[in-house]
Amino acid sequence: MTPTPKTPRLYFNGQNGEFEISGRSIPENSIEFYKPLLEWLDKYIESPCDETKLSVNLEYFNTSSSKCLVEILRKLERVHEIKPVNVKWHYEEEDEDMMESGEDFKKIIKVPIELVVVKGDND
């Protein structure tokens, strides 16, 4: 899906197991926005790739998007029971909120989440 000022880019490739969520996630209705992705993941769980990689590169997300991200990661936990799953949580060096969000997800989700620092543009 193409990003908008309120919705992130969603790239999910079931052929190679590479997925990306990037941009801003503040849709009017997060549940409705993420519903097709969650339904797609239910099908992916039945026959996942040998390795699944998720790259999360969000500038900002609201509380309702956070709940949807947890749901996405919970589905990836089910994939991880069968085949390896790796999540990279990207955040800008100065963005403590996004770093802390990544750390929070690491604590509650049973898939490997790697925190990746992205250098700011003004360096």
Q: CA dihedral defined by 33, 19, 59, 94, rounded to 10 degrees?
A: 160
pTM (two decimals)? 0.92
Q: What is the pLDDT of residue 122?
A: 53
For residue 107, give the amino acid letter.
K
- For residue 117, how many other CB atoms are within 10 A of its CB? 12
Q: What domains can be seen in the chain, in order of their start residue? A: 9-118 (3.30.750.24)
Q: What is the pLDDT of residue 1?
A: 74
| pLDDT digit string (tens) for the chain, length 123 residues | 788 999 999 999 999 999 999 999 999 999 999 999 999 999 999 999 999 999 999 999 999 999 999 999 999 999 999 999 999 999 999 999 999 999 999 999 999 999 999 986 554
Q: What is the pLDDT of residue 123?
A: 45
* CB neighbour list of residue 71: distance below 8 Å, 6 or more residues apart: 34, 38
